[in-house]
Amino acid sequence: MADTREEFYLDNERVREFVDTVERTADAHEEIPALLTALREPFERLLEDDDWLPDLYRNLPSEDYDNKSDMGGDIAQWLLYRQEGKLSLSSLVVPPGVETPVHDHLAWGLVGLCQGSQHEQFYRRVDAGENDTGQARLEALETQEAGPGDFYELIPPENDIHSVTTTSEVPSVSIHLLGADVGCIPRHAFDLDADLVRQFQSGYTNVECETPEAMAPGHNHD
Ligand SMILES: [Fe+2]
C-alpha cells in the first residue's frame, strides 16, 4: 500500500483509526459481501461516536462558500478521506424536505445516518441498461425510513439506484464509505418523468474533481 495515494481532508485520530480498520479488513476479505459484513461493526461504532466529525462537515456550507458539488438542491457532499481509485469517506448533508437526484453508485459501500431522518426510495433498471445517456426505464422497488444509527450496504447491482429525501426538520447527515472515489467517478442520474438517463458526476463540496474525459464538454456520446 506504500505507493497508494491517500488524502485526508479531515485528519484526526478517529478517522485514521477507522481507515486503518477498513484497510486491514479489506486485506483479509476478498469477497465484497464478506468485507461488508466484517465492516458493519466498526462502521456502526463510527456512526455512534459523535465527536469526530466537526461542525463544518455536518452542515450546509455558508452562502459565500463555493459549493463544488453537483448534487443540486443545496446538498453538500463533504469529502473526508480518499484513497486513489479505491476508497472514499464522505458526509452527505441534505436540507429538510430536499430530495437527491435518482442516482447510482457503481461501487460497494456502507451508508448510514448520524443526524436527522431520511426517506429512501430504491429503483432498478428494467430496460437493457447498457446506455449511459438517453432512454432508460426504472421500476420503483421498496422504500425505507432511516434514523440516526441506521445504515445499509451497497452491493451493485443490487440496491444500487435510489433517491433520498430528508424527512426531519434538521438537515440529514449520512456517512458514506464507498469502494471508489464516488464523487469523482462518472455515474448515472435518472429522470423518472422523461424515462431518461444521463452521466452524472456528483462532485464534492470541498474538493474539485478532475473531469473524466468521457464527461468533458463537447465529448460525443455515441
Ligand atoms: Fe446515494
CA dihedral 104, 106, 108, 110 (to 10 degrees): -30
Q: What is the largest CA-CA distance in the chain?
A: 48
What is the tens place of the pLDDT at every residue in 105-114? 999 999 999 9
- The residue ranges of every structural domain in the chain are 6-210
Cβ atoms of 89 and 14 within 8 Å: the answer is no
Q: Which amino acid is at 128?
A: A
What is the tens place of the pLDDT at every residue in 18-57? 999 999 999 999 999 999 999 999 999 999 998 999 999 9
Split at pLDDT 50, 70, 90, the class of 221 is very low
What is the tens place of the pLDDT at every residue in 171-214? 999 999 999 999 999 999 999 999 999 999 999 999 999 866 55
Pick 6-210's CATH classification: 3.30.360.10, 2.60.120.10, 3.90.550.10, 3.40.50.1010: 2.60.120.10
Distance CA 127, CA 37 (A): 31
Q: Measured in angstroms, how far is the CA atom of residue 105 from the centroid of ligand 1?
A: 6
pLDDT, position 54? 96
Q: Measured in angstroms, how far is the CA atom of residue 104 from the centroid of ligand 1?
A: 6
Report cis status (omega within 30 of 0) of the bond before 157: yes
Q: Measured in angstroms, how far is the CA atom of residue 1 from the centroid of ligand 1?
A: 28
Q: Measured in angstroms, how far is the CA atom of residue 20 from the centroid of ligand 1?
A: 24
Which triple of cell numbers denotes residue 212? 473524466
Q: Measured in angstroms, how far is the CA atom of residue 2 from the centroid of ligand 1?
A: 30
Q: Measured in angstroms, how far is the CA atom of residue 162 from the centroid of ligand 1?
A: 6
Q: Measured in angstroms, how far is the CA atom of residue 220 from the centroid of ligand 1?
A: 27
Q: Measured in angstroms, how far is the CA atom of residue 213 from the centroid of ligand 1?
A: 23
pLDDT above 70 covers a percentage of the chain that reads 93
Q: Measured in angstroms, how far is the CA atom of residue 100 from the centroid of ligand 1?
A: 8
Q: Measured in angstroms, how far is the CA atom of residue 211 from the centroid of ligand 1?
A: 20
Cβ atoms of 156 and 77 within 8 Å: the answer is no
Q: Measured in angstroms, how far is the CA atom of residue 77 from the centroid of ligand 1?
A: 11
What pTM value is reported for the model?
0.91
Q: Which residue has the higher pLDDT, 108 or 70?
A: 108
Give, for 102, the enclosing helix (H) or strand (E): strand 102-103
Q: Measured in angstroms, how far is the CA atom of residue 42 from the centroid of ligand 1?
A: 21
pLDDT, position 158? 79
Split at pLDDT 50, 70, 90, the class of 70 is confident
